[in-house]
A and B are shown apart, each in its own frame.
Chain A
Amino acid sequence: SQQGEEDPQALSIQEGENATMNCSYKTSINNLQWYRQNSGRGLVHLILIRSNEREKHSGRLRVTLDTSKKSSSLLITASRAADTASYFCATGQGAQKLVFGQGTRLTINP
C-alpha cells in the first residue's frame, strides 16, 4: 500500500513565490526522498533526508523531517516556471524498496 501521502494534491502559485508541499507517512523509515517528474517523463531525484536528520538544503530546496509527526515538507523558494512539475515523496522501507506517494502537481504561473 502507498505510504507517503502528499498534500496538497495540486498547488498553483505565481512565479517568484515560495511553494510548500507536505508528505505524511505511517511507519518507521530509513530515509525519505523527494523526486520531481515533468509531464510524461521519468522521475528525477531531488534530495534525500535520513531519519536522524531534521533539515536539509539543496539550492532553492529545503526539506524538513519530523519523525515524531511522521511528516516531511519540501519548500521551493523563489519559484520559476521551470519548477512546474509533479513532486513525489518516497520512503525507504525494508532493504531495497521505496514507497512513493501520489504526488503534488505544482503549477507556476508567469
Chain B
Amino acid sequence: DVKVTQSSRYLVKRTGEKVFLECVQDMDHENMFWYRQDPGLGLRLIYFSYDVKMKEKGDIPEGYSVSREKKERFSLILESASTNQTSMYLCASSLGSNRDTQYFGPGTRLTVL
C-alpha cells in the first residue's frame, strides 16, 4: 500500500524560528511536491522536485526552500518563520509525469505565533 508520511501533524513555532517539515514516501516515486492550503485559496504549489537534488519553484516559493538529498525524502524549510506562513502544509509524490496520480501525506498544520 502506498504511503506518504509527514513528520508532524501539528506544529507551533515562534516568529523568526527556522522550521523543517519532513516528508517521506515509500513508493520509489520520482516526483515530490510541497503545497500549502489556505481557506478560500485552495492548494498552492510551493516547490517540487523531479529527481534527487533537483528542485523547481512552484507558484509561491518566497520564504521557503527545499532539500532532496535522497529519493524518498523531501524537506520544506522556512528559514525565518512569519505569521503569514501559518497554514496547512501538504506533501505529495507521483511516479513520473502529471499523467500520474499524486499521493498525499496527512498534512502538517503549522501555526506561527
Segment at the interface with B among A13-21, A63-71, A97-105: A97-105
CB distance from B101 to the nearest CB of A (A): 4
Total chain A interface residues with beta-carbon distance under 8 A: 28
**Docked-complex contact A1 and B59, CB < 8 angstroms:** yes
Contact across chains for A40 and B41 when beta carbons are under 8 A apart: no
Other-chain residue from B41, B42, B50, B104 in contact with A44 (beta carbon distance below 8 A): B104
A-B contact pairs, 10 of them (CB 8 A): A2-B44, A45-B102, A48-B101, A92-B97, A95-B98, A96-B48, A96-B98, A97-B98, A98-B98, A100-B43
A50 to B103, CA, bound (A): 18
Interface of B, secondary structure class, is: strand
Minimum CB distance partner of B40 in chain A: A102
* Residue in chain B with minimal CB distance to A48: B101
- Which one of B42, B45, B97, B99 lies within 8 Å of A103 (CB-CB)? B42
Instruction: With A97-B98, A98-B102 as known contacts, state yes or no: A40 contacts B42, CB within 8 Å.
Output: no
What bracket does the count of chain B residues touching chain A fall in? 20 to 34
Question: Which residues, 60 to 110 on A, are CB-close (under 8 Å) to B?
Answer: 88, 90, 92-103
| Contact present for B42 and A96 (CB under 8 Å) | no
Residue picked from B88, B94, B104, most chain A C-beta under 10 Å = B104
A33 contacts B by Cβ under 8 Å: yes
A91 CB → nearest B CB, Å: 9
- By a CB distance below 8 angstroms, the chain A residues around B102 are 33, 35, 43, 45, 90, 98
Contact assessment for A42 and B98 in the assembled complex, using a CB-CB cutoff below 8 Å: no
Whether B73 is near chain A, meaning CB under 8 Å from some CB there, is: no
- Taking the closest CB of chain B, its distance from the CB of A42, in whole angstroms, is 4
Q: Which residues of A contact B107 (CB under 8 A)?
A: 40-42
Chain B CB within 10 A, most for which of A43, A94, A96: A96
